[in-house]
């Protein structure tokens, strides 16, 4: 029982001590705060008294300016130091460097960039080795797109404080704007190491990698940035364009479609994402998806690039699968379609294809033995894939080929039309010219006609 009583007394004493310490601490803190408040009131009272007697009193303005500067009340700082800057040249007691520096800092905090530039420039003329002056003036030169001057100032600031992330950032970005990509990369990488949340610098680093032909590194960074709500749409556009140019169409589409899923995309980025997605879908022969994007663009901006022309061209293709194959399919599918046309071109005829030759991706020549109840002959077909007007030179070349293989007749088929010169050239020759309208009719019916498979002799 005795031990328990002693223990209880000790616990009570400890609690009392803790309470006393807490109360005394609060009283001390309150006293300190009170002193600060009294000190502030005294400064305000004294400065106000002086300024009531003379609104441009340097000592009163300096006292208020210093107080507001410590409190970061930037609008009041700016007003006080604006007057002090005017008085500095005629009052030796005023520290001209300090008042210009503080005036400029307040101005930049308030977004008054012209006033800030003027203040930092004056301060630098008085003292050129101050870090704060060199950094801020370098930043302002960057904003003004004076990148050479920005580099000079920011290099000096970096020499004074080598681990200041904003200095490294704007130095790297200035060098990037000057197309000095390798130099820029070194500073931007270091800035990112210090401030890894700087996504804009990460994007700039990816662009640097791309410009120095380190494409894989660029794609990795853009891929990392794709989900970012701010930089994501731009990263998707850049990454998708790289993949599109490398003919990596599936990857490009993935990039563009991820970009389009973002919210609050800048209008110019949004429309370009749709346009490039449509371009890739056309290359992949997914015309329906391409037209969807193109029509959205047309609704937003009817005159954007060649959207109206593309819609006009590909709406027809979307409705005619054979026309798609004729114009866009790989060579093997194109030739297979041409064989179908040859085999069904003459009704109630026995047709045997004896030779096929392809000129790049421009045209295909098919030689066939045609046997009807009234006549038999060797017929050469030329299928021209390129749209637009076919000139006389191509028709002359076709005629020369006819003579080489000793064909009795030629059929020249184009998805476009033939020039007047080409038509005049064929008037006295056994060559029929088939233009787009007639070809479209053939393509609409070719699959409905029955065909016989005849061995081809190459």
354: buried, middle or exposed (CB in 10 Å: 19+, 13-18, 0-12)? middle
* Residue that has been written with the tokens 């609704």 in this structure: 299
446 falls in which pLDDT band (50, 70, 90)? confident
Q: Is the pLDDT of residue 26 over 60?
A: no
Mean pLDDT to the nearest integer, 340-352: 93
For residue 185, the model assigns a pLDDT of 97
> Any idea where the domains of the chain sit in the sequence?
50-322, 330-445
Within 13 Å, how many C-alpha atoms sit on residue 278's CB side?
Answer: 23
- Residue 430 structure tokens: 């056994």
Quickly count helices (H) and strands (E) in the chain.
21, 7
For residue 8, the model assigns a pLDDT of 57
Which of these ranges, 36-50, 239-253, 305-319, has the smallest mean pLDDT?
Answer: 36-50
Judge contact between 104 and 137, C-beta under 8 A: no
360-401 pLDDT tens trace: 889 999 999 999 999 999 999 999 998 889 999 999 999 999
What Cα–Cα distance (Å) separates residue 98 from each residue in 57, 70, 103, 127, 410? 17, 14, 8, 10, 92
Judge contact between 129 and 103, C-beta under 8 A: no
Give 366-386 as a 3 state SS string.
Answer: EEEEEECCCCEEEEEEEEECC
31 falls in which pLDDT band (50, 70, 90)? very low
Per-chain mean pLDDT for the chain: 89
321-338 pLDDT tens trace: 898 889 888 899 999 999
* Of 418, 419, 380, 423, the residue nearest 400 (C-alpha): 380
CA distance 291 to 307: 9
CA distance 336 to 353: 12
- Residue 136 structure tokens: 């801020």
CA distance 216 to 57: 64
Q: Is the pLDDT of residue 169 over 70?
A: yes
For residue 168, the model assigns a pLDDT of 97
37 falls in which pLDDT band (50, 70, 90)? low
φ, ψ of residue 433 in degrees (nearest 5): -105, 120
Judge contact between 228 and 235, C-beta under 8 A: yes
What would you report as the CA-atom Rg of the chain, rounded to the nearest whole angstrom? Answer: 40
CA distance 113 to 313: 51
Residue 457 DSSP one-character state: P
CA distance 172 to 114: 24
* Of 431, 391, 394, 413, the residue nearest 334 (C-alpha): 413
Judge contact between 423 and 435, C-beta under 8 A: no
Q: Confirm whether pTM is higher than 0.85.
A: no
CA distance 145 to 22: 57
SS3 of residue 212 by DSSP: coil
Instruction: Indicate the CATH number of 330-445 among 3.40.1350.10, 3.30.499.10, 3.40.50.10330, 3.10.520.10.
Output: 3.40.1350.10
- Report the phi/psi class of residue 158: left, alpha or beta, with left for phi > 0 and alpha for psi in -120 to 50: alpha
What Cα–Cα distance (Å) separates residue 344 from each residue in 185, 255, 368, 440? 64, 44, 12, 15
- Residue 86 structure tokens: 């005017």
Judge contact between 138 and 131, C-beta under 8 A: no
CA distance 69 to 72: 5
* Of 291, 313, 325, 312, the residue nearest 443 (C-alpha): 325
CATH 1.10.357.10 fits 50-322, yes or no: no
């Amino acid at each position: 029982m005795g031990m328990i009583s002693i223990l209880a007394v000790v616990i009570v004493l400890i609690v009392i001590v803790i309470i006393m310490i807490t109360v005394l601490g609060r009283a001390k803190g309150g006293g300190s705060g009170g002193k600060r408040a009294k000190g502030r009131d005294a400064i305000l009272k004294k400065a106000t008294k002086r300024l009531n007697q003379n609104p441009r009193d340097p000592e009163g303005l300096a006292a208020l300016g210093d107080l507001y500067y410590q409190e970061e009340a930037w609008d009041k700082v700016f007003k006080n130091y604006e007057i002090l800057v005017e008085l500095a040249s005629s009052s030796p007691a005023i520290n001209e460097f300090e008042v210009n520096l503080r005036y400029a800092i307040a101005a930049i905090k308030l977004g008054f960039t012209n006033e800030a530039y003027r203040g930092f420039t004056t301060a630098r003329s008085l003292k050129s080795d101050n870090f704060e002056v060199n950094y801020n003036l370098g930043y302002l030169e960057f904003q003004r797109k004076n990148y050479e001057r920005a580099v000079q100032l920011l290099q000096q600031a970096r020499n004074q404080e080598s681990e200041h992330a904003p200095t490294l950032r704007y130095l790297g970005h200035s060098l990037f704007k000057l197309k000095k990509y390798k130099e820029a990369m070194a500073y931007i990488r270091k800035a990112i190491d210090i401030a890894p949340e700087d996504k804009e610098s990460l994007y700039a680093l990816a662009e640097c990698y791309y410009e120095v032909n380190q494409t894989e590194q660029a794609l990795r960074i853009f891929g990392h940035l794709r989900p970012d709500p701010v930089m994501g749409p731009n990263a998707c556009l850049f990454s998708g364009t790289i993949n599109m140019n490398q003919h990596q169409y599936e990857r490009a589409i993935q990039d563009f479609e991820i970009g389009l899923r973002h919210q609050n995309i800048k209008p110019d980025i949004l429309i370009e994402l749709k346009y490039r997605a449509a371009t890739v879908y056309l290359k992949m022969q997914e015309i329906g998806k391409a037209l969807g994007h193109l029509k959205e663009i047309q609704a937003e901006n009817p005159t954007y690039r060649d959207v109206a022309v593309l819609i006009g061209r590909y709406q027809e293709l979307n409705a005619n699968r054979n026309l798609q194959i004729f114009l866009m399919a790989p060579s093997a599918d194109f030739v297979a379609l041409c064989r179908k046309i040859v085999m069904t071109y003459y009704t109630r005829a026995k047709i045997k294809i004896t030779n096929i030759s392809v000129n790049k991706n421009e045209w295909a020549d098919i030689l066939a033995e045609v046997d009807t109840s009234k006549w038999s002959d060797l017929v050469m077909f030329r299928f021209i894939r390129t749209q637009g007007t076919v000139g006389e030179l191509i028709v002359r070349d076709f005629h020369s080929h006819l003579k080489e293989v000793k064909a009795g007749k030629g059929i020249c088929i184009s998805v476009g039309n033939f020039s007047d010169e080409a038509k005049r050239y064929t008037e006295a020759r056994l060559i029929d010219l088939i233009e787009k309208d007639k070809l479209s009719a053939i393509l609409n019916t070719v699959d409905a006609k029955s065909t016989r498979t005849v061995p081809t002799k190459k």
